[in-house]
Each structure stands twice: as C-alpha cells, then as structure tokens.
A and B are shown apart, each in its own frame.
Chain A
C-alpha cells in the first residue's frame, strides 16, 4: 500500500507544502514527527476506539463463540468444532447458501446490464437527462421494508399489476409470491427497481469518456455495438467493476426485503425455503433460536465466502479493468 502523494494541505510543522515525500527509514521519529503523529492520532482516536471495540474484538470473540454452545440465557459451553461439523450436515446451510448464490449470480449481471442500458440512454438525452435521472433514483430512497410490501402487492399472482401488464402482451404471469420457482425471480426483479444509484455512477463514468475516441472509432467505420464494445465498456470498466463488486457483496447479504415479505411472526406457517437467504438463516439461528455459537460459525462461513468471491473479482479485474494512464 503506497502512501498517497503529498496532500495539498500544508503540514503544521513546516507551514508549507512539500513535494513528493522522501521516505527515508529513520531510527526514531523526530520530536516534530512525533508531535504530528500524536496530533493526528488524537483526531483519529474515535475510529481507533470503535475499531477495537466493535470490529477487532468482535472478530476474535466471534471466532471463539463459534466453538461454543451459547444461548445467552445460560453460560457458553465449549464444544470445539461441533458447530462446524453440524454446519457441514445442516441441509439449511446448503440450502441458504445455494439460494444466496443463485440470487447473486442472477441479480448482479442483470442489475449491471440494466443500469448500463439506462445510463447509455441517458447519455443520449443531454438536456432532459436530469429529470429522468431523478426519476430513476427516487425508488432507491424507499425503505427496504416498504419494498418488501410492494413486492407482495405488485407481484401478487392474482391481482398484481405485474401480471396485469404481462397479460397485455399475452403472457400469463406466475404466482410470484407463492410459487417456489418464481419467488427468487420476483426478488431479483424488484431489486432492479432500485437500480438508480448504479445508473448515476455509470452515467458519470460515461460522460467522462472523451469524445474523440468515439469520433476515431466512427471514422474507422465502427457501428454502434462495435463502438460500445471497444470504446465505451473498457473506458467505464472501472465504474462497472465497482458496481459489480458492491452489488455482489450486497447480494450475499440480502436480508430486509426477503425477511419483510416472507418471514417473521405473521408468516410462521408459510415459511418458504426458497427465500431462505443465508443472512436470514443466520439471523434466525442467532436471534430466534438463540444458538449464538452456531450462528457465529455461520457468520464465519459467510465471511470466508465473501472474501473468496471478492478476491476472485479483484484478480479478474486486474485483467479486465482498464484505468486511464495504464500501459495495456
């Protein structure tokens, strides 16, 4: 990790700006360096405290808990790797992991493509872009619980507007909210409703693509799709990558919309396996069944999975993502 290039701000010690810092390893920090460091740490101390108490300690503690049986009411009992063994055999772990994976694998590309399509459209619209951009963004402000409500209502198999619209083009829509094959697709579709923020990101990236590249491509006789593939996508690949990574991580942690619509006190008899996402299962095990030890083990599995996926994405990005100024 490189130290960032000199900030534009003067340092208190010298009162002036420096150019690129010279990093020399010195035996001990000079008094002025120490002063500066202590001053900095004073400002940073809230984060450090928070990190220790709410991040570092919980990580360690969670690792410990995952080796115990703990229901909060009684003391924890050490059980070694039992939780992990149980996880390996628990059909709901496999099920919820599968549900989450399927959802994410379908949702992320679809979401990105839709966002890109809308951004491309907006890019062509110039003056009126602002109005449309606002319209696309507003749904993002809807609280996810309300999104869950909208899912149940708009996608209702019998009366929902979605099936109504589908019937205009002759398709008989399925029961999105009760048919086990269509519940996840329903969740994917409604996630597309909040695509607005990604649209804005991609639009900003599109606008940064220099015009001359397009002109050059056009002179070479490239048609629209060719231009898009050869110029647009590489030039905005940074932003695309960003959207993909963020949404993947979010997808793996899908909770609120599905929980509001399909779980909770009112739904206890109609539990639906296909909407059991990993974090929902974790939440149930931890806070409903009070199997805190088991839930901690589940949390660690999630952590590992997300880390793996993110690392893979980062590795892939080195090959695919193009940053201006790089030699390719």
Chain B
C-alpha cells in the first residue's frame, strides 16, 4: 500500500463560457455559437494527499474548489495534467444522488447504492443498518415522493454515508440539514478518519476544515495559494478575506476597506449615558458608531468584535446580519448597540468595528482593534474572575428525605 492516496500533478481545467448557449444546428452552422470565453477553473494545481489523512479545500466562491473535487472524482477530466487516486473512490457531492421519486425507499436504497458503486449483495448486507440509521422503517415500501422532506433527507443521508471507500470526496452539501444531522455527519467522517481512510472535504465552514482536516489547500482563481497544515492555511485565508477586494492597504494595517461606507466615529457610553472609555462590568453600556454612506449602498452589515488587549483573546463578536435595520439606510447616522448589563470583567479591551456586505466579500471599512476601552469592577462583578460576568444566583437546598422518593 502506497502512502500517497491522491496525487494531483499540474492539473489544468477550463470551461467554455458561452455568451449565448446554443444547442441548435442552425446556429452552429451559421457560426454564431463560437462566442465563448475560455475560463480556466484550475491553473496548474498540484498537491498530494497521504493515505489516511484528511484534506480540506478552502477558497472563495467560484475559485475552483468544486472543480478540483470533481476532477478528483473523475466527473470532470482535466485538459492537462494528471490525477492519480489509489483505491476505491466515493464522491458525495449531494444527498441522494440517483434517487427517483417514483421508486420506493427500498428500491432507491439499492439504486443509490449502485450509483455509489456498491453491488446488490453488499447493499443487502447493510440494508438494515441503513434503514435503522434513517429511522424510516415503516415507509420503506412507499415511493419517496410521498416522504416528507425530512424523511427524504434522512434516507438519502443514510445511504450516502454508508459508503466504505478508500477515498471519500465530500462537498459541503452533506453538511446541510439540522444540527443532529450534522453531528451524525461529523461522527461518521470521524469514523472514516479513524479507520485510516483518506478524505477530501470542501467546505465554507472554516471551523469544520480546522477541526476535521489535518491539511488544507487554499485555491483562489484556479491557483493554489497555500498548502499545509489546516490551521495555518485557514489563518492565511482568513487574513486575506478580511483585506477584501478593493482595499489597497497592506496586511497588518489597522484600517482598510473600499470606503463605500465609512465609520467616522466610535463612542462608548457608560451607565449614565456619558461618553467614556471606562465602562463598568455588570452595568449598562452603549457602543455607538457614526457612519456615512459615500455611495448608494444598501447591502451593509455592521459588526463589532471585542478582544482582550492583554492576551488577545476574542471575547465576543456580533453583527447586524439578522437585525432588521431601517431600509434604505440613512445617508449618515449612528448605529447604536445598547448592552443591558455589560458582561465583561475588569481589564483592558479592544474594539474592532466593521462595515461590509452581507456575503463578507466586500469590506467597506474595517478598524481592527482600533478602539481601546477599560472595564472596571462594579458592585455586581466584584470577586468574579476571568473574562465574563455571569449574573447568577447561588442558593442552597437540603437533601430530601430518602423515604419520600422511594414511595
């Protein structure tokens, strides 16, 4: 058994982007279908994945992540270069590939299993465990078109995740569904990893990449930008994303952005509503951001992050993504975050403020830990230690007589 499971050597892949997709003979022969641009989704990408390791692929939308995965899965053929995968491959790019609505649950399990490369005999051997996992035993003889979307997803998931390949290629579509689902998914991926299988995972969730994957590659505009331990690659990627397109400031700059929205002033207000950089733990506090729109921008998310100045710990972060703001936003105004009882303990803090679009790809204005403030103890926080103030109540209750509970 070789210790390299996947070799990708100088892989190039292009797509033809037709300005007007034509499928008709007339247009073809009139020569009108030649309007296309060659789009290089992968430009000379090379990497290796050792057997039994887990590789994450990160990168912005349209960077070539999914193309890379599909090339590994042999769904797409590269224009140039070599891909070598040792052992059996299963690619899970969506839930329930091959499911047919008119077929029963049972028939679909066998069909989707064959799509994943399993023989009927092999499927029969694990059929019960699949049904068990999905928890839809009583519906297996019904057409899946009559399933609720939840049942459908559970069965599709159970089939997908029942594969036992040497190399597993996962797209994040598997991570949709409720939390219980995701936990099952992660459990199962953990099982794959522990049994020495090789996994390649594409995900937007950098936390998933960091926790699930040993190594990561970062693909941007078809090129490999970084390849190494997932922590480092993710950190590098994060730093880059924050810089955002259109921001000319070098890395490490405290302030950057396109300037489409400018945060002009940041104020801290204490419990009495007075501007002050000294706040009190367990007491009301307010953070105010004055902003100006320099362009008619409607897609703005304001955010803050609070770091400890002494040890750099990220204490808190939040933004206005799910907050109903007045639309259209006034050309200039003040964003105000009122905090009922400031849940911070005594210490030096730094505030980061940001205005960016909802996808996080365009940063209008970003002040990285630009605004310092102090938190002092108040009567309520006195005696607590750490970072956070917990407004809890201690009490004592006598143990009940055992005679009562035995009744």
Same complex: no
A interface, CB within 8 angstroms of B: none
B interface, CB within 8 angstroms of A: none
